Amino acid sequence: MSDTWLIAGLGNPGDKYAYNWHNCGFLAVDMLAEKYGIRLERTQFHALFGKGKIGGHDVFLMKPKTFMNNSGEAVGPFSNYYKIDPSHVIIIYDDIDIAAGTIRVRSKGSAGTHNGMKSVIAHLNTQEFPRVRIGTGPVPETTDLISFVLSDIPKDLRQTMYDSFGEGCKAVEDIVNGKRD
Protein backbone atom coordinates (compact mmCIF):
# COMPACT_ATOMS: atom_id res chain seq x y z
CA MET A 1 0.00 0.00 0.00
CA SER A 2 1.21 3.50 -0.82
CA ASP A 3 2.18 5.82 2.01
CA THR A 4 0.58 8.76 0.18
CA TRP A 5 -2.37 10.44 1.87
CA LEU A 6 -5.30 12.42 0.48
CA ILE A 7 -6.64 15.06 2.85
CA ALA A 8 -9.87 16.50 1.50
CA GLY A 9 -11.72 19.36 3.12
CA LEU A 10 -15.38 19.56 2.16
CA GLY A 11 -17.11 22.81 1.25
CA ASN A 12 -18.60 24.87 -1.53
CA PRO A 13 -16.45 26.72 -4.09
CA GLY A 14 -16.72 30.45 -4.64
CA ASP A 15 -16.40 33.67 -2.66
CA LYS A 16 -20.11 33.61 -1.78
CA TYR A 17 -19.52 30.57 0.45
CA ALA A 18 -15.95 31.21 1.63
CA TYR A 19 -16.72 31.74 5.33
CA ASN A 20 -19.93 29.72 5.64
CA TRP A 21 -20.35 27.09 8.33
CA HIS A 22 -20.44 24.49 5.55
CA ASN A 23 -16.91 25.48 4.47
CA CYS A 24 -15.10 24.49 7.66
CA GLY A 25 -13.37 21.67 5.77
CA PHE A 26 -12.05 24.09 3.15
CA LEU A 27 -10.86 26.50 5.85
CA ALA A 28 -9.01 23.74 7.73
CA VAL A 29 -7.31 22.55 4.51
CA ASP A 30 -6.29 26.15 3.80
CA MET A 31 -4.69 26.23 7.26
CA LEU A 32 -2.78 23.00 6.54
CA ALA A 33 -1.68 24.35 3.16
CA GLU A 34 -0.33 27.52 4.76
CA LYS A 35 1.46 25.65 7.56
CA TYR A 36 3.18 23.21 5.20
CA GLY A 37 3.72 25.52 2.23
CA ILE A 38 1.47 23.47 -0.04
CA ARG A 39 0.03 25.52 -2.88
CA LEU A 40 -3.48 24.52 -3.94
CA GLU A 41 -3.17 25.55 -7.55
CA ARG A 42 -3.67 22.42 -9.63
CA THR A 43 -7.05 21.27 -10.93
CA GLN A 44 -7.96 17.68 -11.71
CA PHE A 45 -10.99 15.45 -11.10
CA HIS A 46 -13.21 18.45 -10.27
CA ALA A 47 -10.91 19.51 -7.43
CA LEU A 48 -8.35 22.13 -6.52
CA PHE A 49 -5.31 20.42 -4.99
CA GLY A 50 -1.65 20.58 -4.14
CA LYS A 51 1.02 18.07 -3.16
CA GLY A 52 3.51 18.29 -0.32
CA LYS A 53 4.73 16.59 2.82
CA ILE A 54 3.49 16.29 6.38
CA GLY A 55 5.90 14.60 8.78
CA GLY A 56 7.86 13.08 5.90
CA HIS A 57 4.73 11.59 4.30
CA ASP A 58 3.55 12.53 0.82
CA VAL A 59 0.14 14.21 0.97
CA PHE A 60 -2.35 15.71 -1.40
CA LEU A 61 -4.49 18.50 0.01
CA MET A 62 -7.79 18.83 -1.82
CA LYS A 63 -10.82 21.10 -2.02
CA PRO A 64 -13.51 19.56 -4.27
CA LYS A 65 -15.08 22.01 -6.72
CA THR A 66 -18.25 19.91 -7.04
CA PHE A 67 -20.22 21.66 -4.28
CA MET A 68 -20.76 19.93 -0.99
CA ASN A 69 -23.42 17.36 -1.88
CA ASN A 70 -21.31 15.90 -4.70
CA SER A 71 -17.92 15.87 -2.95
CA GLY A 72 -17.42 12.17 -3.68
CA GLU A 73 -17.32 12.91 -7.42
CA ALA A 74 -13.91 14.49 -6.78
CA VAL A 75 -12.61 12.35 -3.89
CA GLY A 76 -13.41 8.94 -5.41
CA PRO A 77 -11.83 9.34 -8.86
CA PHE A 78 -8.84 11.24 -7.42
CA SER A 79 -8.04 8.53 -4.88
CA ASN A 80 -8.52 5.82 -7.53
CA TYR A 81 -6.24 7.52 -10.04
CA TYR A 82 -3.46 8.09 -7.51
CA LYS A 83 -4.00 4.62 -5.98
CA ILE A 84 -4.67 5.98 -2.50
CA ASP A 85 -6.31 3.37 -0.29
CA PRO A 86 -9.43 4.65 1.54
CA SER A 87 -7.59 4.10 4.84
CA HIS A 88 -5.30 6.94 3.69
CA VAL A 89 -8.12 9.31 2.72
CA ILE A 90 -8.87 11.81 5.50
CA ILE A 91 -12.04 13.89 5.14
CA ILE A 92 -12.42 17.13 7.12
CA TYR A 93 -15.94 18.51 7.33
CA ASP A 94 -18.50 20.45 9.35
CA ASP A 95 -20.90 18.67 11.69
CA ILE A 96 -24.00 20.30 13.16
CA ASP A 97 -24.38 17.50 15.72
CA ILE A 98 -21.20 18.61 17.52
CA ALA A 99 -20.89 21.86 19.50
CA ALA A 100 -19.23 24.72 17.63
CA GLY A 101 -15.50 24.75 18.19
CA THR A 102 -15.25 21.06 19.09
CA ILE A 103 -13.66 18.39 16.92
CA ARG A 104 -14.20 14.65 16.77
CA VAL A 105 -12.00 12.16 15.02
CA ARG A 106 -13.22 8.78 13.81
CA SER A 107 -11.46 6.03 11.87
CA LYS A 108 -14.70 5.00 10.16
CA GLY A 109 -18.45 5.43 10.35
CA SER A 110 -21.63 6.45 8.63
CA ALA A 111 -22.42 9.78 7.02
CA GLY A 112 -25.22 10.60 9.44
CA THR A 113 -27.24 13.42 7.91
CA HIS A 114 -24.27 14.94 6.01
CA ASN A 115 -24.90 14.80 2.25
CA GLY A 116 -21.27 15.52 1.37
CA MET A 117 -20.17 12.51 3.38
CA LYS A 118 -22.89 10.38 1.83
CA SER A 119 -21.39 11.22 -1.57
CA VAL A 120 -17.84 10.44 -0.41
CA ILE A 121 -18.89 7.08 1.04
CA ALA A 122 -20.75 6.20 -2.18
CA HIS A 123 -17.74 7.05 -4.37
CA LEU A 124 -15.14 5.38 -2.15
CA ASN A 125 -17.50 2.43 -1.79
CA THR A 126 -16.65 2.14 1.92
CA GLN A 127 -17.14 3.82 5.29
CA GLU A 128 -13.66 2.67 6.36
CA PHE A 129 -11.70 5.92 6.15
CA PRO A 130 -10.68 8.48 8.77
CA ARG A 131 -12.55 11.70 9.23
CA VAL A 132 -12.14 14.87 11.26
CA ARG A 133 -15.48 16.42 12.14
CA ILE A 134 -15.52 20.11 13.05
CA GLY A 135 -18.45 21.04 15.25
CA THR A 136 -20.75 23.82 14.03
CA GLY A 137 -23.83 23.15 16.15
CA PRO A 138 -26.31 23.56 17.39
CA VAL A 139 -28.53 25.00 14.69
CA PRO A 140 -30.70 27.71 16.26
CA GLU A 141 -34.34 26.61 16.55
CA THR A 142 -35.44 29.69 14.58
CA THR A 143 -33.21 28.84 11.58
CA ASP A 144 -33.66 26.08 9.03
CA LEU A 145 -30.69 23.79 8.41
CA ILE A 146 -29.85 24.93 4.87
CA SER A 147 -29.96 28.62 5.80
CA PHE A 148 -27.71 27.93 8.78
CA VAL A 149 -24.98 25.92 7.02
CA LEU A 150 -24.90 28.46 4.16
CA SER A 151 -24.59 31.43 6.52
CA ASP A 152 -21.29 32.99 7.51
CA ILE A 153 -19.67 32.10 10.80
CA PRO A 154 -20.59 34.99 13.12
CA LYS A 155 -17.80 37.35 14.18
CA ASP A 156 -18.10 36.38 17.85
CA LEU A 157 -17.37 32.71 17.00
CA ARG A 158 -14.61 33.18 14.41
CA GLN A 159 -11.72 32.84 16.88
CA THR A 160 -13.33 29.75 18.43
CA MET A 161 -13.71 28.20 15.00
CA TYR A 162 -10.19 29.21 13.93
CA ASP A 163 -8.89 27.44 17.04
CA SER A 164 -10.91 24.34 16.13
CA PHE A 165 -9.40 24.35 12.62
CA GLY A 166 -6.00 24.26 14.32
CA GLU A 167 -7.12 21.29 16.44
CA GLY A 168 -8.41 19.61 13.29
CA CYS A 169 -5.04 20.15 11.59
CA LYS A 170 -3.27 18.61 14.61
CA ALA A 171 -5.60 15.60 14.38
CA VAL A 172 -4.75 15.20 10.67
CA GLU A 173 -1.03 15.38 11.46
CA ASP A 174 -1.47 12.73 14.16
CA ILE A 175 -3.34 10.40 11.78
CA VAL A 176 -0.73 10.80 9.03
CA ASN A 177 2.09 10.23 11.52
CA GLY A 178 0.45 7.12 12.99
CA LYS A 179 -0.21 8.68 16.38
CA ARG A 180 -3.97 8.25 16.16
CA ASP A 181 -6.26 5.58 14.74
123: annotated active-site residue: no
Kindly name the residue from 22, 88, 114, 123 that is annotated as catalytic. 22
Question: H/E/C letters for each residue in the chain?
Answer: CCCCEEEEECCCCCHHHCCEHHHHHHHHHHHHHHHHCCCCCEEECCEEEEEEEECCEEEEEEEECCCHHHCHHHHHHHHHHCCCCHHHEEEEEEEEEEECCCEEEECCCCCCCCHHHHHHHHHHCCCCCCEEEEEEECCCCCCCHHHHHCCECCHHHHHHHHHHHHHHHHHHHHHHCCCCC
Active site residues: 22
